[in-house]
Amino acid sequence: MRRCIGFLALVTTVPCLAVPVIGDITFDRGADKTSLANTALEVGIDSRTGALLSITDRPSGRAVLTASGSAPWPLGDQPAEVRCVGVRTRLELGAVVMEVDQGAAGWVATTSYRIWLRQPVLQRDLALRPTADSDKYLSGVRLTLDGVGVQGATDCRYSVLDNWPPRTTAFSELSPGRQVGDTFGGMSGHFVVTHSAEASVGLVAMMACETESAGARVTEQAGSIRIEHTINATFLPRAGKTERFGSQLLAITHGDWRSSLRQGRELYRLVGLVPPQETRDLANRAILYSAHPGGTIDSGFRDVGGFKAFADYLPQLQRLGINVLWLLPTWKGPVYAPVDYYSVDPRLGTEADFRALVERAHELGIRVLGDLIPHGPREESGLATQHRDWICSNEDGGIKYWWGCLYCDYAHPGWQKYMGDHAVDWVRRVGLDGYRVDCAGGGPINWRPFGNNRPSMSGTYGGAQVLRAARESMEREKRDVLLLAEAAGPVFLRYANMTYDWPLCLQVLRHYPEQRPEEYVPQLAQWLENEQYWLPPGALLLHFLENHDTVRARMVYGPGPERALMALCALIPGTPMVYHFQESGLAPYLERLYALRRNVPALHSGEADFLTVTCDRPAVLTVLRTLGNQQVLGAVNLSGEAQACTLRIPSGALTWRGGARNALASPAAPAPQWETTAGGDSIIHLTLAPFESAALLSAEFMVPGLPSAPQVTAPAPTASSLTTSRQGGDVVVEGGGMKLTVGGSNGLLKSMEYAGAPVLRCLSFGEGSRRLWLGARKIALESATGATVEVGEVSAQGLPVRARGAISDGAGNVAAEYAASYTVALRDGRPRLAVGYELTARRPVENVLGSLVELLALDPSATEWAVGTAEGTLHDWNTPRWPTDRRYDGRYLRGVGDRVWELCDQMTGLPVQLAARSANGLWTVLRLGDGDALPANASLKLRRGEESAPFVQLEWLDGNAPVNLKAGETLKLGYVVDFGLLGELPGGLLQAGKLDLAGGWMRITGSQVEVQNRGCYLRASRYAGGRINAVAEGMDTSPIVRGSRVYTDWGIYPDEITPDGRQVRNMVTSDSDPETWGRVDLGGSDPVLSFGGYLRDSDGRSTPAPRMAYRVTYTVGAAAIGVKLQVRPMMTLTGASAFLAQTLGIPAFSTYTVAARDGTLTRDAAGTGRLWESKGAGFGAEPWMEWRGPDGMGARISGPDLADLQNAFLLRSGSGEGVAFLAFLDGLPADLLPQWRTLSYTLTPLKGDQ
């Protein structure tokens, strides 16, 4: 029976069987099936159970959902019987809603199906009404789509769109029962896309829930999938009280896969979820800088000084291209724990100082955001006394605390208004232009919710409502305010201009240092492409590599990758952000990058396409940005190797032709080569240096406002001969604008002048802060007297000046004799100085943690500095950023503050170059490890007391390792300095790349090292505790070990209490250590990689006390890797029962074999949990254990130390993957002492035939 009613029907609710149809919408109520349809789709309901039976694409006649009719119940366990107890239809403007009541087990569940005229979209809402009270809280509500698949199609595939790594699964490869969830839970739109190319039909299903967080899960079935959207709602059932949840939105799509994604994204418009439009252009153009006027997080917000001091830095931000400044909280109280929202922190200055800072920023074209803290103030604010109802409660009714503060109920209208009033107050008082909103996603459960709210609505719903209140109140005062929500999820974009891209910034990018760039970049491109489609159209996300809540990006990625990723953040859609002084070492690059971003509309407001342009180099990511007729093609080299790329742009994809220009390259760089194929494709040939990026524009498009490169003001003088003389006792070598002076009394390099600039001086050489000879006074070469200084014979190496002398402790005790040599050679007429020292101990040194330090000053008038390391290059203006020149210890173990670079932050053991550019444009380059021994550490700072210059400190011995020198034994040290080099960066400064070794090669990609030695490949990270990312036979073969760490999670450190008061195990682990030191040793027959540090809590922020040190060394042999693992608890614990182990991740394996006490056992890897344990069974005389996959590939661990472990075992998970545990401690009583515990073993990759 099918009936129609006209458009003018005024009936909004009609009983069953009184069938309405509006426009093309029809309703049919049958005994078996009830359907609602328009010309685009038909929804079928089981008339008996009320379950969703089918969704059909009417133009093609193909069903995209064909369910069995059993009704997956939305709550708890499946009840025995579910019955349809009513169906109604309701008319809305342009739409019809069919409401289906299902009854079961004390509940009525009403599912609303809303369809619109002619639209192939469906909105499915759920309301639950209990028929009786309950005293048991319920959690989790499900909306299920059963039997999803394009009917009759043989090529159907599906994807959970936010998955990392991105993947699509063909229905031909479905494994019934396998489940795939969304990777980022509440942060995404929970999109599941099903599509058939042959049918050109798809179904996009997503969840728009504005009350609680949600999630998606796919369960694979035979020939179809089940999609389940879960809403994380917690509530107490009350008879007759209806609980409503968000909307499941579905679109039947036509066209190809990407077209389906585009249609799916439009679903957000059905629920009006679009970002604020009035400030959209303003937000698009934003380039953010985040800082606290007190100082950096590293210093505990103390190393800048307050409003006035920070205001002085604003011109630097303007130069950088920053146009929005987010000031971390400046309210009275600890930074994120305000005591008074209406007062400024007096440590930062006065309100007038604050206002002056904002005014100065405005003068410079920088908008200023405050930091809104809706989670609540500290207890001493008195808020709990004034407004107890605003404060959340625990289950027992007591006050709930969060982040050390009173936890205020985001969902309480009173608190929302208070936040709105507070937000606008500072807009009025100091002229703020908006806020970054802390913890903007709401908070944990409030067990005494306001009004009819659910306890769980203090989360997502409350967070969004606070944003609404802040925006509405501020917009009454100032129209163009910006809101940046510290939250991720589409719902927050209704009121915030931007949300955090946590999925990208804290998760997806963090996989970069684990994977080979050639593997990673294609996945990243696909994921970035997908990400656009699970966000509302026009959504703007904040892109950052670090902030005050994270470790510094340079520690994580290394300098080169950081540079490349900063370019990525500027070239893709979203808002790039720089965190306080992150620009150190990057500033000139960022200046150019952000000038481009600001001045090219396609870059800040254009659509992005990550897949259309292909590059023959997989480590290069491309993105095509389009706005109208303007296009920019970005290319980012995420590898440490130069990439000669060929980019192919399909015909029609580019709006411009006839030449491209790389706007990120210097004008002097060769232009990319352009050609067009017969088929009309554009081909661009481009070479990208390690970690460099390109922004290709039409050759005709001149970007305004790009900074120009500094000019060389004088040609480098050249010389053909050198003269020597003595001047006042000093020895002088001169020629062609160069003058080298060696001190006559001590033989120290007094000065080197070149082209009129004092380009190098040695200020001191001797014991550093830790004495080597343990004397009463420091031993220093500069205080030596009586040296003999002579000019040697000219040789092929150059003209040497040699000095000899003795150094004593000032009390007449000679510690060592020294010989220094300074050899000047001319290369193309420009000087090169080779400096060498030989220190021969007269007094022996026995097991002393002593240091030996040389301090050099480069040109005080230098305008720029640069450092080239194995992990990439840093380059900056000579701008001292920190007000103090003193080293201090901050958030991390390593000192921070005055040094702009320190060697120990990167892999050591490889050459390093430091450079300064004089005002005349010429570079001086100091080369370390260029044939000489490398210092243990080195650093660059820009200030020393009152003096400014690039100061280089070479710690030949850093005092961290014991030194032994016999009497008569000699230390040999040295380096080379080149003068008068031209160019934007001196040639050869870049160190990243691939090194050929005797049996293979080594490649460093930022913080990741790969070594291939014949049949053995290792990839490990400096960041993350020397984690093994892969062990394999070769870099392209499947890993047989994937992931490793050393950790303890019980028995040593006490459990953790989470910010919301839960007690959880404290995972203290090496793979969250951001300060891992790494060293490469290529001196032996096999390459050796060493790493070390301290175990960290799981987010890497703190090192639990007492510390636990670890060291791990991998000797990569031709057929096996020697692993030496050491841990040292800095504590004495007797009879401790604890867990402490190294783990190795194992890909899916099918068998394992162990050399057990009772003989060699081979078993199938079946079941889950611990498979075999040495603790019970015991190893045999020669312990080993191995595992193999179905192809016979696997690995063996062997070595006598295994027998000394409390336990060694294999653990298998449900996915078939495993973990090998090598446990120093596994519950048996043991004494912990501050001594190194050592585990040495051999890790041997096994082939199928071994």
Partner 1 sequence: MKHPIALMLLAGLTAVLNAAPQVTQTPDTVTLRNDHLRITVRADNGGALAELRTADGVLLSSGHGLYTDQGLFGPGVYVGTGPVRVTPNVTTEEGRARVRSEGFLATRDGVTAETPGRMGYFLEYELGEGPVLTVRWGATPTFRLDKVTGFFAYVGSLPNLAGLFANTLDGVLLQDPATQNGRSYQSATWPLSLEHPWFGVLRQDGIAIAFCRPTGTPPLPNCFFHEDGKGSASFFLAWLNGGIPQPLEAGKTWMGQCEIRVAPSFERLREDLP
Beta bridge partners of 646: 685
Residue 379 CA, chain-centre distance (Å), reads 34
- Classify residue 388 by its DSSP letter: G
Nearer to partner 1, 779 or 862 (CB): 779
Nearest distance from C-beta of residue 217 to partner 1, angstroms: 40
Nearer to partner 1, 305 or 775 (CB): 775
Nearer to partner 1, 716 or 1068 (CB): 1068
Nearest distance from C-beta of residue 848 to partner 1, angstroms: 5
Does 1106 engage in binding with partner 1 (CB under 8 A)?
Answer: yes
Residues 627, 605 contacting (CB under 8 angstroms): yes
Helix (H, G, I), strand (E, B) or coil at 240: coil
Task: Measure the N-to-C terminal CA separation of the chain; round to a whole number of Å.
Answer: 72
Nearest distance from C-beta of residue 350 to partner 1, angstroms: 27
Does 676 engage in binding with partner 1 (CB under 8 A)?
Answer: no
Handedness of CA 338, 339, 341, 343 (dihedral sign): negative
Residues in 711-750 that interact with partner 1 by CB under 8 A: none
Residue from 29, 157, 554, 770 that binds partner 1 (CB under 8 A)?
770
Does 1230 engage in binding with partner 1 (CB under 8 A)?
Answer: no
> Given the structure tokens 């996603």, which residue do they identify?
441
Residues in 6-35 that interact with partner 1 by CB under 8 A: none
Does 412 engage in binding with partner 1 (CB under 8 A)?
Answer: no
Beta bridge partners of 1145: 1219
Residues 1041, 1195 contacting (CB under 8 angstroms): yes
Nearer to partner 1, 295 or 672 (CB): 295
Does 961 engage in binding with partner 1 (CB under 8 A)?
Answer: yes
Does 941 engage in binding with partner 1 (CB under 8 A)?
Answer: no
Residue from 31, 678, 776, 796 that binds partner 1 (CB under 8 A)?
776
Cis ω before 165 (30° cut-off from 0): yes
Residues in 1078-1097 that interact with partner 1 by CB under 8 A: none
338-354 burial, b if ≥16 CB within 10 A, otherwise e?
A: bbebeebbeebbeeebb
Nearest distance from C-beta of residue 774 to partner 1, angstroms: 5
Residues in 872-901 that interact with partner 1 by CB under 8 A: 886, 888-889
Contacts of 814 (CB under 8 A, 6+ apart): 806, 807, 808, 842, 843
- Please state, in angstroms and rounded to a whole number, the distance separating the CA atoms of residues 101 and 91: 17
* Segment contacting partner 1 by CB under 8 A, of 143-151, 647-655, 845-853, 1029-1037: 845-853
Dihedral over alpha carbons 240, 246, 252, 257 (to 10 degrees): -150
- Please state, in angstroms and rounded to a whole number, the distance separating the CA atoms of residues 10 and 92: 10
- Please state, in angstroms and rounded to a whole number, the distance separating the CA atoms of residues 232 and 182: 14
Residue from 659, 1104, 1122, 1180 that binds partner 1 (CB under 8 A)?
1104
Residues in 899-938 that interact with partner 1 by CB under 8 A: none
Nearest distance from C-beta of residue 896 to partner 1, angstroms: 13
* Segment contacting partner 1 by CB under 8 A, of 218-226, 929-937, 1022-1030, 1228-1236: 1228-1236
Residue from 1131, 1148, 1177, 1211 that binds partner 1 (CB under 8 A)?
1131
Nearest distance from C-beta of residue 379 to partner 1, angstroms: 13
Nearest distance from C-beta of residue 932 to partner 1, angstroms: 25
Nearest distance from C-beta of residue 960 to partner 1, angstroms: 8
Does 763 engage in binding with partner 1 (CB under 8 A)?
Answer: no
Residues in the interface with partner 1 (CB under 8 A) total: 33
Does 1234 engage in binding with partner 1 (CB under 8 A)?
Answer: yes
Nearer to partner 1, 70 or 960 (CB): 960
Nearest distance from C-beta of residue 1186 to partner 1, angstroms: 36
Does 849 engage in binding with partner 1 (CB under 8 A)?
Answer: yes
Does 1052 engage in binding with partner 1 (CB under 8 A)?
Answer: yes
Residue from 27, 527, 1053, 1184 that binds partner 1 (CB under 8 A)?
1053
Residue 489 CA, chain-centre distance (Å), reads 18
- Please state, in angstroms and rounded to a whole number, the distance separating the CA atoms of residues 602 and 596: 10
Nearer to partner 1, 501 or 854 (CB): 854
Does 1235 engage in binding with partner 1 (CB under 8 A)?
Answer: yes
- Please state, in angstroms and rounded to a whole number, the distance separating the CA atoms of residues 392 and 458: 9
Dihedral over alpha carbons 282, 621, 596, 309 (to 10 degrees): 70
Nearer to partner 1, 993 or 1106 (CB): 1106
Does 774 engage in binding with partner 1 (CB under 8 A)?
Answer: yes
Does 300 engage in binding with partner 1 (CB under 8 A)?
Answer: no
Nearer to partner 1, 2 or 886 (CB): 886
Nearest distance from C-beta of residue 1056 to partner 1, angstroms: 13
Nearer to partner 1, 708 or 847 (CB): 847
Residues 1220, 1144 contacting (CB under 8 angstroms): yes
Distances (CA, A) of 383 to 243, 387, 986: 31, 6, 60
Does 771 engage in binding with partner 1 (CB under 8 A)?
Answer: yes
- Please state, in angstroms and rounded to a whole number, the distance separating the CA atoms of residues 243 and 650: 51
Residues in 1142-1201 that interact with partner 1 by CB under 8 A: none
* Segment contacting partner 1 by CB under 8 A, of 50-58, 81-89, 160-168, 1105-1113: 1105-1113
Nearer to partner 1, 255 or 1104 (CB): 1104
Residues 1120, 1016 contacting (CB under 8 angstroms): yes
Contacts of 1160 (CB under 8 A, 6+ apart): 1153, 1154, 1180
Residue 650 CA, chain-centre distance (Å), reads 32
Nearest distance from C-beta of residue 942 to partner 1, angstroms: 18
Nearest distance from C-beta of residue 920 to partner 1, angstroms: 36
Does 405 engage in binding with partner 1 (CB under 8 A)?
Answer: no
Dihedral over alpha carbons 890, 892, 896, 902 (to 10 degrees): 170
> Given the structure tokens 């003088």, which residue do they identify?
717
Nearer to partner 1, 676 or 1132 (CB): 1132
Contacts of 121 (CB under 8 A, 6+ apart): 40, 41, 115, 249, 250, 251, 252, 267, 270
Beta bridge partners of 381: none
- Please state, in angstroms and rounded to a whole number, the distance separating the CA atoms of residues 121 and 421: 40
Handedness of CA 1035, 1038, 1040, 1044 (dihedral sign): positive
- Tokens read off for 467: 């944003």
The amino acid at 905: D
The amino acid at 726: R
DSSP result, 94-128:
TEEEEEEEEEETTEEEEEEEEEETT-SEEEEEEEE
Helix (H), strand (E) at residue 245: strand 243-254
Nearer to partner 1, 356 or 1109 (CB): 1109
Nearest distance from C-beta of residue 299 to partner 1, angstroms: 12
Helix (H, G, I), strand (E, B) or coil at 522: helix
Residue from 931, 1054, 1178, 1192 that binds partner 1 (CB under 8 A)?
1054
- Classify residue 604 by its DSSP letter: H
Does 758 engage in binding with partner 1 (CB under 8 A)?
Answer: no
Residue from 18, 197, 1133, 1203 that binds partner 1 (CB under 8 A)?
1133
Does 962 engage in binding with partner 1 (CB under 8 A)?
Answer: yes
- Please state, in angstroms and rounded to a whole number, the distance separating the CA atoms of residues 1039 and 1028: 10
Residue from 848, 852, 916, 1116 that binds partner 1 (CB under 8 A)?
848
List residues near partner 1 by CB under 8 A. Answer: 769-771, 774-776, 778, 847-850, 886, 888-889, 959, 961-963, 1052-1054, 1104-1107, 1128, 1130-1133, 1233-1235
